[in-house]
Structure 1
Amino acid sequence: MTKPKLVFDPVAQEYFDNPYEIYQRMRDEAPIYYDEEGDFYALTRHADVAAALKDHEAFSSARGCDLAMVRSEEGPVKSIIFMDPPEHRHMRSLLNKAFTPRAIQNQHQTVTELVEQYLAKVDPDNFDVVQDFSGPFPVEVITRMAGVPEDFRQQVRHWIDTSLERQPGQIGWSDKNMQANIDSGVYYYGLVQERRQNPQDDMISRLIAAEIPDENGQMRRLDDIEITGFTSLLGGAGAETVTKLVGSAVVEFARHPDQWQLLLDDRSLIPAAVEELLRYVGPVQYNVRYTVKEAHVPSGTIPAHKPVFLMKAAANRDPRAFDNAETFDITRDRTQAQNLGLGYGIHSCLGAALARMETAVALEHLLDFMPRYEVDFDGLQRVSMQNVAGYHHVPVRVLR
């Protein structure tokens, strides 16, 4: 029997349901995949994806991070993930101050309290890990840091979810996606205006007070649109990553009870478990870049002026980089290759340490709350989102 033609469609239902089968074929049969119809490329091998993530001179972020953005004439709104150096470097150094090791450590108590608060509300006989737990708590953490009042923190999560939703076959934005982006932008813009009048001890107020060099080296303040872009981006990244990672963690540990038992026996393995989850079921599947010149990676050459999918989730299961790459193993040797789950190079995730800490705290408490549990696998509902994988619904029952 001949194999069906290899087609990577980032908005196909089969891709949303199980991206890993197509990744395996792409790595083996077409490491530099070219889609004639869509006129885009995709990289799936670890060596190629890592090289492209590091080569910001050839693989530009300035046109956006998904196919619709890269193709659009007007380009994306101004935000740090859509910048190349030197502009990116100035913004990154400014925002890094919000995510220093001390700043993350200062959030530990808040994260612990929120995790305990949400777990205390659930019914052990029937609860949804994502809707009742991993959805609500991370957005509370990041929006509180940003300066969003309590009444709007959960609303931010719903705007993000809606803006990222994609129906099978839908590459561009729907009216619903656009409206969520507009509502979120208008809200954050209003909040920036408020903080200009009445500064607080929060990220928005610090961004208002900050200065960065312009193209002539003169110091300047950020404008309201820039600050709005940063805060909405941080809200999105801070909410989506941990929400999806914890939901996927509960599913994978139910499929691999021996690995859950390792954690029950030895809590010191939790950080290693977080790394393996990021490798094996990391929420961010890919980022799209645009080649501003002919680009070279170990597997070959990509022409200039093309969108390129950098498939981090495929790279993280590349057997050329990791032994038994398709096996979920929290005790694996993590020195073999770079884990690309939270990015690599200049655009690696700003809040990576915060995401790791939140996930570790969540696992610690879930081990206490449900040492034995079962997932209703028939009730699992995957998300269909632009470049994000995970679950909307993970129904669970605690076993006594």
Structure 2
Amino acid sequence: MTKPTLVFNPVAQEYFDNPYEIYRRMRDEAPIYYDEEQDFYALTRHADVAAAFKDHDGFSSARGCDLGMVRSGDVPQKSIIFMDPPDHRHMRSLLNKAFTPRAIQSQRDTVVELVEQYLSKADPDNFDVVQDFSGPFPVEVITRMAGVPEEFRQQVRHWIDTSLHRKPGQIEMDDENMQANIDSGMYYYGLVQERRKNPQDDMISRLIAAQIPGENGEMRQLDDIEITGFTTLLGGAGAETVTKLVGSAVVEFARHPEQWQKLLDDRSKIPAAVEELLRYVGPVQYNVRYSLKDVELPSGRIPANKPVFLMGAAANRDPRAFDDGETFDIDRDRTQAQNLGLGYGIHSCLGAALARMETAIALDHLLDFMPRFDVAFDRLERVNMQNVAGYHHVPVKVLN
């Protein structure tokens, strides 16, 4: 029997339902995949993806991070993820100050408080891990840091979900996606202007006060559009990553109860479990770059002026990089290869330490809340999103 033709379509329903089977075939059969119809390339082997992430001279972020954006070159706002050096370097050094180890640790009590608050309201007989828990708490953490008033924090999450949603076959943004982006952008823009008049102890106020080198070398302040772009991104990344990771974690632990038992027996393994989850079911599936020149990679050549998918989630299961890469094992040797779950190179996730801390605290409390549990696999509901994979609903029954 001949194999079906290998087709990678980033907005096909079968891709949304199970990207990992397609990744396995791409790594084996077409490590440098080319789609003639849509005129893009896709990289899936670890050596190629890691090299491309590191090569910001060859692969530009300035045209956006998804296929529709990169193809049109129409970047919606000034944002650090849509920048190349030197602009990226100046902005990154400024924003790093918001995510120092001390700044992250200062959020620990807030995270614990929110995790306990949401779990205390959960119904053990009818617990939706995402809707009742991993959806609401991370966005509270990040928007509180930014300076969003309490009554708007959950609204931020709904804007993000709507803006990232893609119907099967939909590459370009539709009216609903655009409206969600406009609504969130207008909201943050208004908040930035409010903070200019009335500064507070929050990230928006600190960005207003900060300075970066301008084009002529003189120091300048960020304008309202730049601050709006960053806070919009921060809300999205800060909410989506942990929301999807914790939901996927519960599904994988239900499929691998022996791994959950390891955590019940030894909580010191939680950080290793977070790393393995980021490798095995990391929420960020890919980033799209634009090739500025012909680039030689370990598996072959990418020509200039093409959209290129850097498939981090595929690379993270590459058996050429990780022994038994398709196996979920929290005790695996993590020195074998770079975990690409939160990016790599200059665009690695700014809030990676915060995401790791939130996920670890969530797992620790879930071990207490549901040491034994069943997932209703027939009622799992995956998200259909660009760049991001995970679940919209993870129904759980806690067992006695």
Instruction: Give TM class, smaller chain.
Output: over 0.9
RMSD: 0.5
Could you tell me which residue of structure 2 aligns to residue 207 of structure 1?
207
Secondary structure class of the residue paired with 1:289: strand
Q: Is the 8 A contact 2:35 2:41 kept in 1?
A: yes
Structure 1 residue 66 and structure 2 residue 71: aligned? Answer: no
Could you tell me which residue of structure 2 aligns to residue 378 of structure 1?
378
Structure 1 residue 344 and structure 2 residue 319: aligned? Answer: no
One-letter amino acid of the counterpart of residue 79, structure 2? S
Could you tell me which residue of structure 1 aligns to residue 174 of structure 2?
174
* CA–CA separation in structure 2 for the residues paired with 1:364 and 1:297: 41
Could you tell me which residue of structure 2 aligns to residue 267 of structure 1?
267
Q: Is the 8 A contact 1:76 1:82 kept in 2?
A: no
Structure 1 residues 370-391: Cα deviation after superposition (integer angstroms, max 9, x where no partner):
0000000011000000010000
* CA–CA separation in structure 1 for the residues paired with 2:74 and 2:30: 32
Bigger shift: residues 215-224 or 310-319: 215-224
Bigger shift: residues 105-114 or 73-82: 73-82
* CA–CA separation in structure 2 for the residues paired with 1:86 and 1:120: 47
Structure 1 residues 14-70: Cα deviation after superposition (integer angstroms, max 9, x where no partner):
000000000000000000000000000000000000000000000000000000100
One-letter amino acid of the counterpart of residue 323, structure 2? D
* CA–CA separation in structure 2 for the residues paired with 1:81 and 1:215: 19
- Shift, 1:181, TM fit: 0.2
Residues 77-92 of structure 1 mapped to structure 2, 5 A cutoff: 77-92=77-92
Could you tell me which residue of structure 2 aligns to residue 25 of structure 1?
25
Could you tell me which residue of structure 2 aligns to residue 361 of structure 1?
361
Q: What TM-score, normalized to structure 2?
A: 1.00
- Shift, 1:218, TM fit: 0.9
Could you tell me which residue of structure 2 aligns to residue 228 of structure 1?
228
Structure 1 residue 258 and structure 2 residue 258: aligned? Answer: yes
Residues 9-20 of structure 1 mapped to structure 2, 5 A cutoff: 9-20=9-20
* CA–CA separation in structure 2 for the residues paired with 1:214 and 1:98: 21
- Shift, 1:194, TM fit: 0.2
Could you tell me which residue of structure 2 aligns to residue 124 of structure 1?
124
Could you tell me which residue of structure 1 aligns to residue 317 of structure 2?
317
Q: Is the 8 A contact 2:96 2:350 kept in 1?
A: yes
Secondary structure class of the residue paired with 1:290: strand
One-letter amino acid of the counterpart of residue 90, structure 1? H
* CA–CA separation in structure 2 for the residues paired with 1:187 and 1:68: 24
- The number of equivalent residue pairs is 400
- Shift, 1:92, TM fit: 0.2
Q: Is the 8 A contact 1:99 1:351 kept in 2?
A: yes
- Shift, 1:169, TM fit: 0.1
Q: What TM-score, normalized to structure 1?
A: 1.00
* CA–CA separation in structure 1 for the residues paired with 2:58 and 2:122: 49
Structure 1 residue 307 and structure 2 residue 307: aligned? Answer: yes
Q: Is the 8 A contact 1:242 1:359 kept in 2?
A: yes
One-letter amino acid of the counterpart of residue 141, structure 1? V
* CA–CA separation in structure 2 for the residues paired with 1:351 and 1:118: 22
Q: Is the 8 A contact 1:293 1:305 kept in 2?
A: yes
Structure 1 residues 68-116: Cα deviation after superposition (integer angstroms, max 9, x where no partner):
1001143341100000001000000000000000000000000000000
One-letter amino acid of the counterpart of residue 185, structure 1? G
* CA–CA separation in structure 2 for the residues paired with 1:201 and 1:153: 17
One-letter amino acid of the counterpart of residue 93, structure 2? S
Could you tell me which residue of structure 1 aligns to residue 218 of structure 2?
218
Structure 1 residue 152 and structure 2 residue 152: aligned? Answer: yes
Q: Is the 8 A contact 2:63 2:73 kept in 1?
A: no
* CA–CA separation in structure 2 for the residues paired with 1:294 and 1:90: 27
* CA–CA separation in structure 2 for the residues paired with 1:209 and 1:379: 48
Q: Is the 8 A contact 2:241 2:284 kept in 1?
A: yes
Bigger shift: residues 188-197 or 68-77: 68-77
* CA–CA separation in structure 1 for the residues paired with 2:160 and 2:281: 20
Q: Is the 8 A contact 1:46 1:315 kept in 2?
A: yes
Structure 1 residues 305-324: Cα deviation after superposition (integer angstroms, max 9, x where no partner):
00000000000000000000
Q: Is the 8 A contact 1:63 1:76 kept in 2?
A: no
Secondary structure class of the residue paired with 1:293: coil
Bigger shift: residues 221-230 or 65-74: 65-74
* CA–CA separation in structure 2 for the residues paired with 1:237 and 1:283: 10
* CA–CA separation in structure 1 for the residues paired with 2:207 and 2:69: 26
* CA–CA separation in structure 2 for the residues paired with 1:198 and 1:88: 28
Secondary structure class of the residue paired with 1:321: coil
* CA–CA separation in structure 1 for the residues paired with 2:73 and 2:142: 32
Q: Is the 8 A contact 1:212 1:220 kept in 2?
A: yes
Could you tell me which residue of structure 2 aligns to residue 247 of structure 1?
247
- Shift, 1:165, TM fit: 0.1
* CA–CA separation in structure 1 for the residues paired with 2:176 and 2:377: 30
Residues 40-55 of structure 1 mapped to structure 2, 5 A cutoff: 40-55=40-55
One-letter amino acid of the counterpart of residue 333, structure 1? D
* CA–CA separation in structure 2 for the residues paired with 1:28 and 1:254: 29
Q: Is the 8 A contact 1:248 1:281 kept in 2?
A: yes
Which consecutive residues of structure 2, in runs of 5 or more, have no partner in the other structure?
none
